[in-house]
Amino acid sequence: MSTTTAPPKKDTYSPLELFGIDRLLGEDERDIAATVRKFVDTRLRPNVEDWFESATLPRELAKEFGDLGVLGMHLQGYGCAGTNAVSYGLACLELEAGDSGFRSFVSVQGSLSMFSIYRYGSEEHKSEWLPRLAAGDAIGCFGLTEPDFGSNPAGMRTRARRDGSDWVLNGTKMWITNGNLADVATVWAQTDDGIAGFLVPTNTPGFAANAIHKKLSLRASVTSELVLDNVRLPASAQLPLAEGLGAPLSCLNEARFGIVFGSLGAARDSLETTIAYTQAREVFDRPLSSYQLTQEKLANMTVELGKGMLLAIHLGRMKDAEGVRPEQISLGKLNNVREALAIARECRTLLGGSGITLEYSPLRHANNLESVLTYEGTSEMHLLSIGKALTGQAAFR
């Protein structure tokens, strides 16, 4: 009869330690998470308050993310690391523990721009763009969403028409992360044969990216409107394997998977920040952490964070094995973003007046998560995706 020795008892634990999360991870996965966390702590966290306040994200971070190895890290070849899905998810978690803007940059670069080329592009597309995007020498963006057709991309008005052997694109895309930084845009457009994808170098005549200002959320992130005014492209610019709406939607599923993990990073950082604050803050001559109502809040938040982490790892293991269905990704995104936002808001209450400053992260995370809640599919659309899976009825049509 064999026995397993329990780890030594400690006086205090971090929230995810209580769930024994590290026991569910391989050594390589833990090493990747630790490497990204160190980069966030040393390079990003010291600057995030200023970047958030000034609504900027330095372009040179692209090269630093490339050197870190997180751009397209879950893809194979072309300078990509070829990690498993869980490792990619953990990297997203650590990046979003710094700020949602960092994870958004990496997610759009790797899971939207690079994945669209990797999955649907020609060998020439892959050879030209993927090594540069993986290294951070080039930046990509993904043009699907339009001003009037966010949750209904099938209604897009951007149009690509044939003119001899060329394509000519006209239309507008909205809420495009990295748009003003990008060297290449994956743009989706209606054609006479249905929806098609095109690689558009951003220096092409007729292409313009207009930065969106006065944001209250995702301020340490570049968000843009893309305008295509008679943008002429050669036939070779079309993604040859992208047929119909299923192509861009499959890219969105890749990005949503990163959010399943990433949102928990914002929640973990909010909770760890708040635990440390309540231990140091005295109220009526006692630490705030010693009060029952405080401990109830901390315990409830820890339970939801841990449950979300177990769900994320489970979905990641499925993705690495037999694959994961879109409605299962919807489950993860719906639950984890919703709970992460609730945790960030609750943490802010324990910080009192201090919680409204950028010195503490929870309200910044909460503001960011308001965007994460609605991009890559609103909560309502994910609820209806789950509802369709349960009933067979498409309630959104």
User: What are the catalytic residues?
Assistant: 376
Reduce the secondary structure of 287-326 to three states and give it as a string: EHHHCHHHHHHHHHHHHHHHHHHHHHHHHHHHHHCCCCCH
- CA 61/CA 136 separation, integer angstroms: 8
CA pair distance 275, 302, nearest whole angstrom: 11
DSSP for residue 324? -
Cα dihedral 127, 130, 135, 138, rounded to 10, equals 100
Structure tokens at 21: 């999360």
Neighbours of 282 (CB within 10 A): 11
CA gap 25, 272 in Å, rounded: 21
Nearest to 172 by CA among 154, 192, 188: 188
**């201090």: which residue's tokens?**
354
Phi, psi of 225 (to 5 degrees): -100, 135
